[in-house]
Amino acid sequence: MKAVVCNELGEPSVLRVEERPSKAPRDGEVRVKLKAAALNFPDILMIAGGYQVKPDLPFIPGIEAAGEIVEVGAGTGKWTVGTPVIVTGAGDPLGLFAEEVTVPVSTLTAIPKGMTYEEASGYLATYATSYHGLVDRGRLKAGETLVVHGATGGVGTAAVQIGKHLGATVIATGGDDGKLAKVKAMGADYVINYKTQDVRETVKVLTNGKGANVFYDPVGGEVFEASMRCIALEGRILIIGATSGTYAPVKTNHILIKEVEIIGVLHGHWRDRHPEMFEQNMRILGEWAEAGHIKPYVGRTYPLEKAADALAALGNREIVGKCVLTIDN
């Protein structure tokens, strides 16, 4: 099988396409012929050696994909040959930038009806993270105001759709008017271009001076500082990550005065601790997807052999929604 291999740490350009042997499934494992693999910022960090998970070289990157089961080992239960599935590493490298993969059944999730392989490949990490953040951690309620930073990315577009379905007023921020127009078409009530508008003042105007109740922040840095300046009393800031490359220092006097909550959201580890709750969340999201309330947005696709180009485009913030590798099997 063909696989994208990282033999040395660096920029995405270090990746090479190589032939790797197939692996027969053992007990509790299945072999999946992959059809699409989604890209994520952790892939770029892992290739550069800057991620919290540091696999030994050489390794095959890729932490989420979708395909069809083609072989099963003993004890795989409901997972049978021909079943379309999502495969996820929940934060660990599984080698999903490849034509196939052999994995434990614990890494599998059924693809919601009507969803393409391309859509499904980037569905779980973004929507499960956003649902866990907004519902389990952020307690977002109908009628509240939600600000989604980095709204043009994968988790951002998912958070916008989920926030709207939950009944919130959604303000989306980003740095490109064209991309923000697409996010508005997905349901955002308002958009703010942080390059040409003052986020703090604009949020205050849009909320009649009250501030927003919940901030969804995968960006960090100066964006977090802006959120602290326009948050409502008893508001919540959800820390999803720091794609800006900087985690902001926290001034506790601001937290004290407004009784603000700063809440961490690390879905992969939470999923490992609470598998039953994860399954419940996925059932809800699956129902929403099949009813058309949420729909993964695939902004661009590349063939597997162009993984380095795709990751470079992702790193340069060229993509709206998810960037996906298509795999010709």
List, in sequence order, every residue forming a beta bridge with 148; answer none if it has no partner. 172, 216
Phi, psi of 67 (to 5 degrees): -175, -155
Q: How confident is the model at residue 93 (pLDDT cuts 50, 70, 90)?
A: low
Per-residue b or e along 207-221, where b marks 16 or more CB atoms closer than 10 Å to that residue's CB: beeebbbbbbbbbbe
- Mean pLDDT across 12-34: 96
Architecture of domain 128-266: 3-Layer(aba) Sandwich (3.40)
Per-residue pLDDT at 49: 92
Tokens representing 109 are 């999730």
Q: pLDDT tens for residues 151-196?
A: 999 999 999 999 999 999 999 999 999 999 999 999 999 999 999 9
Q: Are 214 and 138 in contact (CB under 8 A)?
A: yes
DSSP-assigned letters across all residues of 92-155: S----SBSEEEEEGGGEEEPPTT--HHHHHTHIIIIIHHHIIIIIIT---TT-EEEETTTTBHH
- How far apart are the C-alpha atoms of 3 and 93, rounded to whole Å? 13
* Residue 90, helix vs strand vs coil: coil
The CATH number of 2-122+296-326, from 3.40.50.12780, 1.10.540.10, 3.10.105.10, 3.90.180.10, is 3.90.180.10
b/e code 91-102 from CB counts within 10 Å (16+ = b): bebbbbbbbbbb
With beta carbons less than 8 A apart as the criterion, state whether 177 and 198 touch.
Answer: no
Positive or negative: CA dihedral 320, 323, 328, 329: negative
Band (53; pLDDT cuts 50, 70, 90): confident
Q: Average pLDDT of 41-62?
A: 89
pLDDT at 282 (0 to 100): 94
The answer to whether the beta carbons of residues 255 and 262 sit under 8 Å apart is: yes
* Domains of the chain, residue spans: 2-122+296-326, 128-266
Confidence band of 92 (pLDDT split at 50, 70, 90): low
**What whole-number distance in Å separates Cα of residue 193 and Cα of residue 199?**
8
Q: Which pair of structure tokens corresponds to residue 167?
A: 């009944």
Q: How confident is the model at residue 233 (pLDDT cuts 50, 70, 90)?
A: very high
φ/ψ (deg, to 5) at 291: -85, -5
